[in-house]
Amino acid sequence: MKKRSAKTIRNLTGYAFIAPWLIGFLVFTAGPFIASIFLSFTRYDIISTPVWVGAANYKELLTGDPIFWKSLLVTFKYAAVAIPSGIIAGVALALLLNMELKGISVYRTIFFIPSIVPVVATSVVFVWILNPNSGLVNSILLRFGIMGPNWLQDKNWALWSLIFMSLWGVGGSMIIYLAGLKDIPIQLYEAAMIDGANAWQRARHITIPMLTPIIFFNLVMGTIGAFGTFTQAFVMTQGGPEDSTMFYSLYLFNRAWRYLDMGYASAMAWILFVIIMIFTGIIMKSHRKWVHYGN
Amino acid sequence: METKSSPWKKIAAIIAAILLITGIALIFMLPAPQTRHYPKRIEVRFWHMWTGEWASVVDNIAQEYNRNQTKYEVVPLSVPSSAADTKFLLAVSGGNPPDLMAQWNPVIPSWADKKLLTPLDEMMTPAEWKEFQNTAYPVAKKIGIYKGKLYGVTTGTNVWALYYNPKHLREAGLDPNKFPKTLEELMKWGDKLNRYDKRGNLVRMGFLPGWLAEYAPIFDGGFYDFKSNKLTLNSPQNLRALTFLVDARKKIGYNNVVRFESGLLSSSNGSGDWPFIKDFYSIALDGQWRVEEIRKLAEDTKKNGGPWDFEYGTAPVPPPTGGKSAAGFADGNFLVIPRGAKQARGAWEFIKFWSGIEKPERAAKFYTWGGWMPINAKVANAPAYQKYVRENPQFKTFLDLMPSENLEPSPPVSYQIFLVDRIGRTDDFATRGSLTPEQALKTLEHDIAAEQARRKEYRYDVN
């Protein structure tokens, strides 16, 4: 009896300590998350009571809203290019920064710093960098006699500009890859070298396979992140030109806060949730085939 | 299992705890950011979105009001414009709205429709309401009235007209005193004023006609018939206007235009960076606030000992053949009282004070502080306002537009922001050449019809 009460007290103390987070989570995350299931079947403008409309929001989204499909396509395109290129750039950088050079930690810091700059600040800077007339990118191109495009104002280039910009923040994943590289047992390389493996073979058969758990982690996080891309487009292009950067989350935001169409936006959020779950599920399912845990 | 902790850890923990406690204590000890000057009076909480110099102007008006009576204290609070609407909505739905809010976003129809705003005509006496209807400029009524009820009182309408650089005109052999009387003639002037560099890049734009919402009324079109209360989206007049805008861009080359425009500094940086003042445009369409900005810039430059020889003139946009004069887009700053405001009466008294519904002669002064367009002719004719116009003769062009019936704000429908966004897209797709003007307007009509159908299905208001 005494033992149990002591245990209860200990448990309660534990809960009391995590209560600030727990309450915050329940009130600000779990609550709205669950409420949005109901709201997605209603018309709701924040102010008045939600009115049940059945599956009308979903029907309209799937059959009558071209911008919904366009925003989905934009987001898919972005994810399809930005995620793999982020992984390639991240791994490549980590490999480079894994070399034992004098002052390597300085280089590591330099490459990591951009990832801790808030996206809003980066976006504002990139608006300048990508300015077609006076921007850094086009000024450099001009030195080589190339007339750079109207990056953010050209519908064929705007999305690519944002993908290009996404590589700027690759330092965050790079640092995780770097930690992964440091974790690869040295004896594997030694054994390979004794067997006469060259640098490429070592990279191909040891480094990359041993990094796959990290790549897997970054792939999952990157997928979730890419489908939620919002800030860059909100700050830099507002979805334009001609909806070429109308990301799903941006359109969702517009529906929710510009048009006060919370029911519709909730339905959008749930469709996005299902899409992300499907993709994450596929990645999870496939991981047995390509992720090596070294044992 | 006890582990022996090092004394340093203990010391660090104690220091951290002391710092934390001091920090929390300091938060409570710091004075509240807004100090009341008249704590015994009834507080009227006033939210607005101005910042910097503009916020000071608003503060001064509030102070003037506070000095002028003894019952209320208007306490202004500058709310970041990007979050202001959200903050307002959450405050109203949370039951704690401000007493008064200054807005410039197209929100009256949708907020009024959602019963978020107090009908101001109900705050007026029948005589006041009648007086308002008889004296307020047509555009002030178009902005403020939704379905026959007044929800917003304009304290500064924005109207657009042409700014021209006489020096450029003279260089090109054009006489500033014989400014074009037709849009066609103005376009010819624009061609003569364009300047290119050796590579063929545009370095100075003569004149580039702007956006559809401005030009549709000039072409006798527009998106709403304020008499029959019906949308007029895909009209032959709007098509003419859009075709005109598309052709103007095509002539210079769309990429050239974009490259030129994006090379300019953001005009929202302030008057000093305005491309017209920087000589990038010879003739530019812009709002009346530039007059006041240029005046301040000149004053500051002279004060700092710099030279000031910038010369400019203003003129209304001349109509095309078959178009309308004194026409164009208009929007403005207006004051609204949320429903559930605790001090609606105090807020209303302040609205009357600022707008000039009460004592227009006194209010005229406030309008000149911001270079704002008056709500009615009484304010416009008040000595203080007339003095301002005499000192800033370029302002008269804008003032002369005010009595016009041809100024058109965004259509007062309950899904106004959606509609404004879609009109913007129409403009975007057509002027970039992705859709023909016919296709763009048809798409607009189709999208709005679809939205109306959806709203009908949801039993929302569709007007």
Give the ipTM. Answer: 0.83
Asked if residues B402 and B157 have their Cβ atoms less than 8 Å apart, the reply is: yes
Q: How many CB atoms lie within 10 A of CB B228?
A: 8
Phi-psi sector, B205: left (phi>0), alpha (psi -120 to 50), beta: beta
* CATH for the stretch B159-328+414-457: 3.40.190.10
- The residue assigned the tokens 């004149």 is B207
Give the nearest chain B residue to A155 (CA atoms): B432
Q: Which pLDDT score, from 0 to 100, does residue A295 have?
A: 60
Q: Which residues of B touch A241 (CB under 8 A)?
A: 428, 432
Chain B: which residues have CB within 8 Å of chain A? 85-86, 89-90, 92-93, 110, 114-116, 255, 258-260, 262-263, 415, 417-418, 421, 425, 428-429, 432, 434, 450, 454, 457-460
Nearest by Cα to A294 from A210, A217, A216: A210
Nearest by Cα to A226 from A285, A292, A280: A280
Q: How many CB atoms lie within 10 A of CB A198?
A: 10
How far is the C-alpha of B452 from the C-alpha of B435, rounded, in Å? 23
Quote the minimal CA–CA distance from A64 to chain B in Å.
8
Alpha helix positions (H), B136-283: 138-144, 166-171, 183-193, 212-218, 236-252, 254-262
pLDDT over 70 for what percent of chain A? Answer: 98
Chain-chain contact of B89 with A134 (C-beta, under 8 angstroms): no
Question: How far apart, in Å, do the first and last CA atoms of chain B sit?
Answer: 74
Q: Which residues of B touch A49 (CB under 8 A)?
A: none
Q: How many CB atoms lie within 10 A of CB B27?
A: 8
Token pair in block for residue A13:
């103390």
Chain-chain contact of A46 with B90 (C-beta, under 8 angstroms): yes
- 3-class secondary structure, A243: coil
How many CA within 13 A on the CB side of residue A99? 9
- Number of A–B residue contacts, CB under 8 Å: 67
- The residue assigned the tokens 């989206």 is B233
Q: How many CB atoms lie within 10 A of CB A29?
A: 10
Q: Which pLDDT score, from 0 to 100, does residue B1 have?
A: 46
Q: Which residues of A touch B115 (CB under 8 A)?
A: 47-48
Among the residue ranges A46-50, A96-100, B255-259, the one predicted with the least confidence is: B255-259
Q: Which of A48, A131, A242 sits opposite B114 (nearest CB)?
A: A48
How far is the C-alpha of A246 from the C-alpha of A78, rounded, in Å? 11
In chain B, where are the structural domains located? 30-158+331-408, 159-328+414-457
Chain-chain contact of B263 with A131 (C-beta, under 8 angstroms): yes
B30-158+331-408 and B159-328+414-457: identical CATH topology = yes
Q: Which residues of A touch B258 (CB under 8 A)?
A: 132, 150, 153-154
Question: pLDDT (tens digit, 9 = 90+) per residue, B317-372?
Answer: 999 998 999 999 999 999 999 998 999 999 999 999 999 999 999 999 999 998 89
How far is the C-alpha of B352 from the C-alpha of A281, rounded, in Å? 62
On the 0-12 / 13-18 / 19+ scale of CB atoms within 10 A, A41 is buried
Residue B460 has pLDDT above 80, yes or no: no
Give the nearest chain A residue to B414 (CA atoms): A259
Give the nearest chain B residue to A150 (CA atoms): B259
Question: pLDDT (tens digit, 9 = 90+) per residue, A100-109?
Answer: 888 898 999 9
Q: Which pLDDT score, from 0 to 100, does residue B210 have?
A: 85
Question: pLDDT (tens digit, 9 = 90+) per residue, A217-252?
Answer: 999 999 999 999 999 999 999 998 889 999 999 999
Chain-chain contact of B110 with A134 (C-beta, under 8 angstroms): no
Question: pLDDT (tens digit, 9 = 90+) per residue, A4-20?
Answer: 788 999 999 999 999 99
Give the nearest chain B residue to A59 (CA atoms): B454
Residue B269 has pLDDT above 70, yes or no: no
Chain-chain contact of A258 with B421 (C-beta, under 8 angstroms): yes
Range B30-158+331-408 classified under CATH 3.30.360.10: no
Residue B44 has pLDDT above 90, yes or no: yes
Q: Which of A241, A243, A259 sits opposite B415 (nearest CB)?
A: A259
How far is the C-alpha of B341 from the C-alpha of B99, rounded, in Å? 5
Chain-chain contact of A260 with B114 (C-beta, under 8 angstroms): yes
Q: What mean pLDDT is predicted for residues A40-53?
A: 90
Question: pLDDT (tens digit, 9 = 90+) per residue, B403-453?
Answer: 999 999 999 998 998 999 999 999 999 988 899 999 999 999 999 999 999
CB within 8 A of B406, min separation 6: which ones? B217, B324, B325, B326, B327, B328
Chain-chain contact of A242 with B429 (C-beta, under 8 angstroms): yes
Residue A34 has pLDDT above 50, yes or no: yes
Task: Encode burial over A124-154: b for 16+ CB neighbours within 10 A, e otherwise.
Answer: eebbebbbbbebebbeeeeeeeeebbbbbbb
How far is the C-alpha of B214 from the C-alpha of B160, rounded, in Å? 8
Residue A99 has pLDDT above 90, yes or no: no
Question: pLDDT (tens digit, 9 = 90+) per residue, B273-318?
Answer: 788 988 899 999 999 989 988 998 899 999 998 888 899 999 999 9
Quote the minimal CA–CA distance from A149 to chain B in Å.
9
Nearest by Cα to B135 from B400, B388, B381, B410: B381
Give the nearest chain B residue to A258 (CA atoms): B417
- Ordered domains of chain A (ranges, CATH): 57-290 (1.10.3720.10)
Q: Which residues of B touch A230 (CB under 8 A)?
A: none
**Summary mean pLDDT of chain A:** 91
Q: Which residues of A touch B450 (CB under 8 A)?
A: 64
How far is the C-alpha of B58 from the C-alpha of B74, rounded, in Å? 11
Nearest by Cα to B85 from B108, B109, B105, B58: B105
Chain-chain contact of B116 with A47 (C-beta, under 8 angstroms): yes
- The residue assigned the tokens 């920087």 is B278
Quote the minimal CA–CA distance from B192 to chain A in Å.
24
Asked if residues B209 and B245 have their Cβ atoms less than 8 Å apart, the reply is: yes
Tell me whether A230 touches chain B (CB under 8 Å).
no
Phi-psi sector, B125: left (phi>0), alpha (psi -120 to 50), beta: beta
How far is the C-alpha of B148 from the C-alpha of B141, rounded, in Å? 10
Question: pLDDT (tens digit, 9 = 90+) per residue, A53-65?
Answer: 999 999 999 998 9
